[in-house]
Chain A
Amino acid sequence: MSERQAKHQSRISFIVNGEKRAVDVPPMKRLLDVLREDLRLTGTKEGCGEGECGSCSVRMNGELVNSCLVPVLQAEGAEIETVEGLGRGGELHPIQAAFLACGGAQCGICTPGMLMATAQLLAVNPHPTIGEIREGLAGNLCRCTGFKRIFDSVAAAVGDMDASAKTGEVHAG
């Protein structure tokens, strides 16, 4: 352990799912490994480990990134959102609820990445066409569902989020 500490370590401070966190880790450690090993946020999965499959997708400063390709030093000061940050107070996020309702998840390894890619897509484009849904999720591979149910889930989430936004307007009025 002492030898380990003698090697390059950096103090990295960032905001993860709205909470300030700090870790002492090698600056080249992958954000993915810091999330899973140092912060115990194991919802983010490793698939290919080379930026091809999207399993490890998280949002960083409002952009979708593959956390396997981010050296943690580059996350210094960043706002990170992982799948653990989607639901609040035990309630599923509408995207999660839609994936559950539409059979958008089977084995589950790709699911956190799919959810985060969907969250990113809807943050920049709340009413995507089917083509835009396909493009938004094109970097996320699923070997179970054949994608149809995933795209259906995203479309359903759009409808649900619209409906709850409208309800909110009524309540507000």
Chain B
Amino acid sequence: MRGNAEAHELIALGSLAAVLELLAGAPGEWTPIAGGTEIMVAHAAGRLREKKMVNLWGLSELRFIQGSSNSIAIGGGVTFRDLRTHEGVAAGAPLLAKAATWIGSIANQSRATIGGNLVNGSPAADSSPALLVYDAEVELISVRGRRRIAYSDFHTGYKRNAMAADELLFAVHVPLRFAKHKQYLRKVGTRRAMAISKVALGGTALLRTGVVSEIRLAAASLAPFPMRLFRTEAALQGRTLDEAAIREAQEALMEEAKPIDDIRSTAAYRSRVAANLLGEFLNELLPAETRR
């Protein structure tokens, strides 16, 4: 059944401050809408429950990318087109720039925002594994002020997050200290454009004389929300990387992953493929002569 435009209210207030006042005055009553690539799909299908919406698209206070010496701040209203064409993002957070090219198509990338991607909280969110392996933080804003939390603490369950009803996602902060790390991101889906991933895996790692001194791993579509693979990381931390270590890490990942069967794939396939992706990443870290 088609959605009925007249059954929904949509207002534009012209400034971030005015939107925050509105949200504070009636917590939970208004749903923010940015690029609409999620909400308008539900609307078209006649399954949009939210009746009152407030516009975020076009608020310049949310659309900025600002670099400093140790991090990049990305406003919640930044589109994936902005991300994929920004030199600072390409240089400092290449995995995020890469993920931005995978999201939907050009028409979706010019509308979908990073804030929308994270707040929507799809388990398959394309930007999430990159942000997790960069140890990103999210900055939330309300009339009460701003606060920052680790992105790895942001998702709390399927489509649930740590935001209060009067808060908006103001910015994502990506640290720039991963330039010397080996970095990896791969998405497996039906096709590169448009298809939502069956599984995606990201990683950043630093080895010293063959020993894993730092490693971060994260996945999409392996759990009810995009997750850091802390237990798989623990299986590798401090170990000399060799074939046995890789095999044990793959086993740890298959233990840690909690994927589901759905229209896009099966749980068993997702776990197996995620383990293969991990193997691919770790194999790249081995000295050239010992790679498979």
Contacts and interface: CB of A to CB of B under 8 A. Distances in A.
Nearest to A76: B12
Interface of A: 4, 7-8, 25-30, 33, 49-52, 54, 57, 63-66, 68-71, 73-74, 76, 117, 120-121, 135-136, 138-140
Given A8-B9, A28-B8, A139-B194, A74 B57 contact: yes
Contacts of B110: 63-65
19 contacts: A8-B6, A25-B5, A27-B11, A27-B12, A28-B53, A30-B44, A51-B40, A51-B104, A54-B105, A57-B107, A63-B111, A64-B107, A64-B110, A70-B36, A71-B33, A71-B36, A73-B55, A138-B105, A138-B193
A173 to B, nearest CB: 34
A154 to B, nearest CB: 13
A139 B193 contact: yes
A69 B6 contact: no
Contact of B107 (A49, A50, A54, A74): A54
B82 to A, nearest CB: 10
A73 B12 contact: yes
Contacts of B101: 135
B192 A68 contact: no
Interface of B: 2, 5-6, 8-12, 33, 35-37, 40-41, 43-45, 53, 55, 57-58, 81, 101, 104-108, 110-111, 192-194
B45 A63 contact: no
A49 B106 contact: no
A74 B58 contact: yes
A34 B165 CA distance: 33
A30 B105 contact: no
A140 B101 CA distance: 16
A73 B40 CA distance: 13
B10 A138 contact: no
A29 B9 CA distance: 10
Given A28-B6, A69-B108, 19 more contacts: A8-B8, A25-B5, A27-B10, A28-B10, A28-B43, A29-B5, A33-B5, A51-B41, A64-B106, A64-B107, A66-B107, A69-B37, A71-B5, A71-B43, A73-B11, A74-B55, A136-B106, A138-B192, A139-B105
Nearest to A29: B5
Nearest to B40: A69
Contacts of B104: 51, 139
Contact of B36 (A64, A74, A117): A74
A69 B45 CA distance: 12
Given A7-B6, A64-B106, A69 B111 contact: yes
Contacts of A8: 6, 8-10
A139 B108 contact: yes
A139 B8 CA distance: 28
Contacts of B36: 69-71, 74
Contacts of A27: 5, 9-12
A50 B101 CA distance: 20
A50 B108 CA distance: 11
B108 A51 contact: yes
A70 B6 contact: no
A8 B35 CA distance: 21
Contact of B106 (A50, A73, A74, A139): A139
A63 B109 CA distance: 10
Contacts of B8: 8, 26, 28
